[in-house]
Amino acid sequence: MPAIHGKRLAFVMLSALFATVGCGGVGPAAIHYDADACDHCRMTISDPAFAGQVVMRTGKIYRFDDPSCLVSFVTSGHTASAEIDGVWLNDHAHPDARVKAPDAVFVVSDRIRAPMNGRTAAFASRGDAAAFQASVGGQLQAWTDLLKRGAS
What's the farthest any 2 CA atoms get from each other in the chain?
Answer: 50
Number of domains the chain contains? 1
Name, in order, each residue with C-beta under 8 angstroms of 55's C-beta and a sequence gap of 6 or more. Answer: 25, 26, 27, 28, 29, 61, 62, 84, 85, 86, 87, 88
**Contact at 8 Å (CB) between 89 and 52?**
yes
Is 19 within a domain?
Answer: no
- At 5, the pLDDT band (50, 70, 90 cuts) reads low
Is 13 within a domain?
Answer: no
Is 2 within a domain?
Answer: no
Per-residue pLDDT reduced to its tens digit, 65-108: 999 999 999 999 888 888 999 999 999 999 999 999 999 999 99
Per-residue pLDDT reduced to its tens digit, 17-33: 444 344 456 789 999 99
Is 7 within a domain?
Answer: no
Is 71 within a domain?
Answer: yes
Instruction: Give the predicted TM-score (pTM) of the model.
Output: 0.82
Is 67 within a domain?
Answer: yes
Is 81 within a domain?
Answer: yes
Predicted pLDDT at 77: 85
Mean pLDDT (whole number) for 141-146: 96
Closest CA to 46 of 90, 110, 93: 90
- Structural domain boundaries enclosing 100: 25-151
Is 18 within a domain?
Answer: no
